[in-house]
Structure 1
Amino acid sequence: MFLIILNIVFCLAFIGFAYVNLNDPDAWLWVGIYLAVTVCCGLFVFKLYYPKIYLGLMAFYLIYAVILFFGKDGVLDWITKYKTPSIVETMQAEKPYIEKTREFFGLLIITSALTIDFFAVKFWL
């Protein structure tokens, strides 16, 4: 029962994340990213599980997260060059590192959700 509730919460959260990304210049990418994980979590509620899709999405998200971490004005620059200023003071990403750092943590969140389902499947299905 816990996994059902958790995946319903995941679905609602990721739909919300997709919605707030509709006005981004790269909305085509981020709405797709969030909707893909939303579909996986939604299908999991109905005991539909596709491990190859999970692994493919997790690999894509983690590779993209590494790119955002090490890229110019990425997370590593946010930590070392900019000394970790707040990335949540305003919704506007006025500095280049803000958007990349937020995207990095978004990828970690959705990868975590997929990882939970990937390993919890043996207890659920």
Structure 2
Amino acid sequence: MGLRIFNYLFAFLFLVSAILQYNDPDPWLWIPIYLFGAALCFLAARGKFYRNTYLAGIVVFGIYAVYLLFTQDGVLDWINEHDSENIAQTMKATKPWIEDTREFFGLLILMAALLVNYISARKNLGHRRGVTF
């Protein structure tokens, strides 16, 4: 029951996040990313798990997160050159390091939700087959 609520909650949050990307500088990238998470969480809430899809999302989003960590005006610049300036002051990201840092944390949240479902899918598959992973 807890996993079902978790997935409905994150499906809703990722759907709202996708809608809010409409005014983003790169909505063509972020709307599909968040819709991907919303769809997978919704399906998991309905009892349908797709382990390989979770793993692919974690890998692709992880690579992008590493890019955002090291890119110019990325997360490390935000930490080192801008003293971890508040990234939640306003909804409008007026500085590039704010946008990249927010995107980085969005990816981390998305990867965490996919990881929870990946682990749950492995456990469910193991119980069905009588195998532990």
What TM-score does the superposition give when structure 2 sets the normalisation length? 0.90
Give the corresponding residue for 1:49. 49
| Cα displacement (A) at 1:72 | 0.2
- List aligned pairs for 1:68-87, cutoff 5 A: 68-87=68-87
Name the amino acid aligned to 2:48: L
Name the amino acid aligned to 1:24: D
Name the amino acid aligned to 1:75: V
Give the corresponding residue for 1:27. 27
Give 1 or 2 for the bigger CA radius of gyration: 2
Distance 1:51 1:123 in 2: 11
| Cα displacement (A) at 1:4 | 0.5
Distance 1:25 1:103 in 2: 12
Give the corresponding residue for 1:3. 3
Give the corresponding residue for 2:61. 61
| Cα displacement (A) at 1:81 | 1.0
| Cα displacement (A) at 1:123 | 4.8
Please list every run of 5 or more consecutive structure 1 residues that lacks an aligned counterpart in the other structure: none
Note if 1:120 corresponds to 2:120: yes
Query: How many residues matched?
Result: 125
Name the amino acid aligned to 1:77: D
CA distances 1:52-71 after superposition (whole Å, capped 9, x unpaired):
11111110111000000000
Give the corresponding residue for 2:107. 107
* Of 55-64 and 41-50, the range deviating more from structure 2: 41-50
Distance 1:28 1:69 in 2: 21
Q: Percent identity?
A: 44
Give the corresponding residue for 2:38. 38
CA distances 1:27-51 after superposition (whole Å, capped 9, x unpaired):
0110000000111111111221111
| Cα displacement (A) at 1:25 | 2.4
Name the amino acid aligned to 2:11: C
Structure 1 stretches (4+) deviating beyond 6 angstroms? none
